[in-house]
Structure 1
Amino acid sequence: MSTPVLETRDLTIRFGGHVAVDAVSCKFEPGTLTAIVGPNGAGKTTYFNLISGQLKASAGQVFVKGRDITGEPAPLRTRAGLGRAFQLTNLFPNLTVVENVRLAVQARAGQGASLFSTWISKRDLIDKAQAILGRVALADKANQKAAALPHGDQRKLEVGILLALEPDIFMFDEPTAGMSVDEAPVILDLIHHIKADSSKTVLLVEHKMDVVRALADRIIVLHQGQLVADGEPAAVIASPIVQEAYLGVAKA
């Protein structure tokens, strides 16, 4: 049996007497998109934070490609191949759109985080940053400051930064939250494109079930911090417990 690209074993975090994530064990394989669903407060974003290193686990382990990264901080997890897009945007607000992406491209190339040190001699990196802006429909806003962008464009920029880092594991926390009906397809098409790459693994926290149905190969359901369902989308969505408790469908 091959080693999963990402695995959590009995992953747990407690805040005082409250167990927010309760011994969640799950494996994720390349070439798959797993949607993580559940009611508000179920532990979905907290589970993401434990995987990506924003929170320290009370118990349990996180493995990337078989290596235990439980004790590593978030930047080292990024280097290990974890890429995280946040529910709330995580940008350099006083830099321009293209500068935000340039920094990520430069970091991925292993050339440090200085904004100006290597750009004149690295036209290929500049071109790459510009190409990424085209993919997220922000090429016409390259020279605007990130702070000046409307919320939907800030979400696009964050996804652009994630693309620039070229992770093996993409983690999206409600990527279309706050976007208009016209804006959301840009991000959903990008996620669909990432999913088509058999070397990439995608985790998606999403409340919109039409998005989940369109993208997911697998759904896992969290409730009160526990993993209560895991399987193919049709089977999970059709299960009575999920219909009633997590998708807001009452019993007939």
Structure 2
Amino acid sequence: MLETKDLTIRFGGHVAVSSVSCAFAPGTLTAIVGPNGAGKTTYFNLISGQIPASEGTVTLNGVDISRHSASSRAKAGLGRAFQLTNLFPNLSVLENVRLAVQSMRSGAHRRGMNLWSIWSDHGALTERARQILQDVSMTAQADVPVSSLPHGDQRKLEVALLMALEPQVFMFDEPTAGMSHDDAPVILDLIRALKKDKTKTILLVEHKMDVVRELADRIIVLHNGQLVADGDPAEVIASPVVQQAYLGVAPEATKEAA
């Protein structure tokens, strides 16, 4: 479904991501791990279109989307939670989710900006929005302005909006970062539920190895911007290259290259 070929980004003389080629199949949750500064979030930014690549391509369902904007990639089926954080902060939680649901319904693209005039005509949209809020345990916050939500609830709302947009590819960048001990399991349960849909592809950047062990079908490891390991979670976690990377020691291959 999703593939990167020789994806590279340079910032001046620094190569943050170097020729990463990887394919991600439907029905698979791939965890992207590596030490701080390994290039994980930058790789996500390249895939989702937040920054343009210096070299290489991103394809979705066989279509080259390398030159597409972030919003165009989202419409094509790439969903990244953090992109949605600031959607209508002065509207309520329910109104935000309802607008996201409405944008995905048949014919919404033909209505252009005429969303407000048909707001009250879609009880089904409101019902769907309420169901999504129930799924993310935010029913009690339905009427709360988004701008006043605490951090944990903002992260849950990100997932709710992402679910409303019904993407083909779900991209989660440390989804439980900064969340309380009580809130984090809600997000992880949502990801577990999304995994059951074998038509979807899930990418997960995560530092917590217990979460990775439980959720991942596959692990890829980035180190100094390079793809250094790819495979079964147990084997990858136990591999010397990963142990060295997490200890901050360059892999043997990197040492030899130097």
Classify the secondary structure of the residue corresponding to 1:126. Answer: helix
User: What code does the residue aligned with 1:54 have?
Assistant: Q
Equivalent of 2:33 in 31, 37, 42: 37
Classify the secondary structure of the residue corresponding to 1:119. Answer: helix
How far apart are 1:88 and its partner, in Å?
9.5
1:186-237 per-residue CA deviation (whole Å, 9 max, x = no partner) reads 1101101111111000000001111101100000000111000000000000
Q: Distance in 2 between matches of 1:14 and 1:106?
A: 39
Question: Contact 2:174/2:207 (CA < 8 Å) preserved in 1?
Answer: yes
CA RMSD of aligned residues (A): 1.7
Long gaps (5+) in structure 2? 250-258
Q: Distance in 2 between matches of 1:107 and 1:19?
A: 38
Equivalent of 2:96 in 90, 95, 100: 100
2:254 aligns with none
1:209 aligns with 209
- Structure with greater helix share of residues: 2
Q: Distance in 2 between matches of 1:247 and 1:117?
A: 57
User: What code does the residue aligned with 1:133 have?
Assistant: L
How many equivalent residue pairs? 245
1:132 aligns with 132
Change over 3 Å in CA distance of 1:73–1:47 after alignment to 2: same
Runs of 4+ with deviation above 6 angstroms:
none
1:30-77 per-residue CA deviation (whole Å, 9 max, x = no partner) reads 000000000111111110011011110100000000110001111111
1:71 aligns with 67
Under a length normalisation based on structure 1, what TM-score does the superposition of the two structures give?
0.93
Change over 3 Å in CA distance of 1:24–1:94 after alignment to 2: same
Q: Distance in 2 between matches of 1:143 and 1:248?
A: 46
Classify the secondary structure of the residue corresponding to 1:230. Answer: strand
Question: Contact 1:87/1:174 (CA < 8 Å) preserved in 2?
Answer: no
How far apart are 1:114 and its partner, in Å?
5.2
Q: Distance in 2 between matches of 1:185 and 1:247?
A: 28
Change over 3 Å in CA distance of 1:61–1:16 after alignment to 2: same
Equivalent of 1:61 in 46, 57, 61: 57
Q: Distance in 1 between matches of 2:168 and 2:135?
A: 19
2:142 aligns with 142
Change over 3 Å in CA distance of 1:11–1:196 after alignment to 2: same
Under a length normalisation based on structure 2, what TM-score does the superposition of the two structures give?
0.91
User: What code does the residue aligned with 1:123 have?
Assistant: G
How far apart are 1:244 and its partner, in Å?
2.9
